[in-house]
C-alpha cells in the first residue's frame, strides 16, 4: 500500500480565509530567534499547482480545498456578550488550535504525507480567527509568544506530548493522532456552541467545527485501507 499517494476527499470546506487580516499576536515564536511559526507556515502556503484537481483527487488536493470563509473582521457577525465561562472556553480554543498546528507541523516534517502540511496551514488561519475574538472580547491570549510545543495549560502540554510520541515514529501513528485531535476538537466546539448567543463567536465556532469535521474525514480516509 502506498500510503503517501492517498488523497483524502473533501476536507477543508470550513478552512477560514482571512484575506489581509493579520494575527493579533504571534502564532508561536521559534526558540533561538527564528521566524514565528505563522511566518514559517505562510512560506509553505498552497502553491498554484494545487489549485487544480486530478482524476484521483475527488475535487481536492491532499484532502484540502481552497475555501473563502467569513473570518475577516469586516465580514464577521456583530459582537455579542460572553459569560466568564465562555471567555475561558474561548481562551482554551486558542490553545487547541495551536496544539493542532504545532503537532501537524512536526508530522509534516517527519512523514511523507502532505495532509499534515496542508491542515497545519488551515490551523494557522483558525488560530488567527480565534485571536480576532480574543481581541474583540478583551480576553488574554494564552498562546501569545509561546514557542512551538509550549502551552499555558499543563493539560494541553501533556496532550501534545502524548500525541507527539504516538506519531513521531510512524505515519500510521501520526494519522491516528491527527484523527484524535479533530475528534476532540469537534466535541469541544459542539459543547462551546451550546448556550452561546454571541453572533460572531457562533460564526467562528461554526466554521471551525465544519473544518474539524472535514479534517477528521480526511484522516479517516488516509487511515482506511485502499
Spatial CA neighbour of 106 closest among 33, 169, 182: 169
Spatial CA neighbour of 21 closest among 65, 76, 64: 76
In this predicted structure, what is the pLDDT of residue 74?
A: 60
- Whole-number Å distance between alpha carbons of 70 and 33: 33
For residues 127 and 98, is the Cβ–Cβ distance under 8 A? yes
Integer angstrom CA distances of residue 107 from 112, 120, 173? 9, 10, 10
Alpha helices in 62-170 (DSSP H): 84-110, 115-136, 154-167
In this predicted structure, what is the pLDDT of residue 170?
A: 96
In this predicted structure, what is the pLDDT of residue 168?
A: 92
In this predicted structure, what is the pLDDT of residue 65?
A: 52
Residue 78 CB: number of other CB atoms within 10 A? 8
- Cell numbers for 67: 475555501
Q: In this structure, what CATH number is given to the domain that contains residue 77?
A: 1.20.1260.10
Phi and psi dihedrals of 126, rounded to 5? -65, -45
- Whole-number Å distance between alpha carbons of 28 and 10: 28
Whole domain around residue 190: which residue ranges? 3-223
Q: What is the b/e burial string over 27-50, where b = at least 16 CB atoms within 10 angstroms of the residue's CB?
A: bbbeeeeeebbbebbeeeebeeeb
As a dihedral over the C-alpha atoms of residue 60, residue 45, residue 175, residue 2, rounded to 10 degrees, the angle is 60
- Tell me if the pTM is above 0.85: no
- Residue 196, CB half-sphere, CA atoms under 13 Å: how many? 23
In this predicted structure, what is the pLDDT of residue 187?
A: 98
Rg (CA), the chain: 17
pLDDT in tens, the chain (226 residues): 444 433 333 333 333 333 333 333 344 433 333 333 333 333 333 333 332 222 233 344 445 554 434 455 568 899 999 999 999 999 999 999 999 999 999 999 999 999 999 999 999 999 999 999 999 999 999 999 999 999 999 999 999 999 999 999 999 999 999 999 999 999 999 999 999 999 999 999 999 999 999 999 999 999 976 4
In this predicted structure, what is the pLDDT of residue 139?
A: 98
Strand partners, 63: none
Amino acid at each position: 500500500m502506498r500510503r503517501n499517494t492517498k488523497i483524502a476527499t473533501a476536507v477543508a470546506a470550513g478552512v477560514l480565509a482571512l484575506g489581509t487580516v493579520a494575527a493579533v499576536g504571534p502564532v508561536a515564536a521559534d526558540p533561538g530567534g527564528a521566524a514565528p511559526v505563522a511566518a514559517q507556515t505562510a512560506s509553505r502556503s498552497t502553491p498554484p499547482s494545487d489549485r487544480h484537481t486530478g482524476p484521483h483527487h475527488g475535487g481536492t488536493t491532499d484532502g484540502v480545498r481552497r475555501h473563502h470563509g467569513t473570518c475577516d473582521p469586516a465580514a464577521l457577525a456583530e459582537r455579542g456578550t460572553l459569560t466568564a465561562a465562555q471567555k475561558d472556553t474561548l481562551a482554551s480554543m486558542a490553545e487547541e488550535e495551536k496544539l493542532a498546528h504545532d503537532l501537524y507541523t512536526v508530522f509534516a516534517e517527519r512523514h511523507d504525507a502532505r495532509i499534515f502540511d496542508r491542515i497545519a496551514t488551515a490551523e494557522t488561519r483558525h488560530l488567527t480567527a480565534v485571536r480576532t475574538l480574543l481581541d474583540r472580547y478583551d480576553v488574554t491570549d494564552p498562546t501569545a509568544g509561546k514557542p512551538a510545543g509550549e502551552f499555558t495549560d499543563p493539560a494541553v502540554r501533556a496532550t501534545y506530548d502524548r500525541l507527539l510520541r504516538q506519531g513521531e515514529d510512524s505515519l500510521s501513528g501520526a494519522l491516528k493522532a491527527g484523527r484524535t485531535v479533530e475528534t476532540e476538537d469537534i466535541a469541544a466546539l459542539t459543547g462551546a456552541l451550546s448556550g452561546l448567543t454571541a453572533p460572531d463567536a457562533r460564526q467562528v465556532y461554526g466554521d471551525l467545527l465544519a473544518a474539524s469535521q472535514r479534517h477528521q474525514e480526511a484522516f479517516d480516509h488516509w487511515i482506511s485501507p485502499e
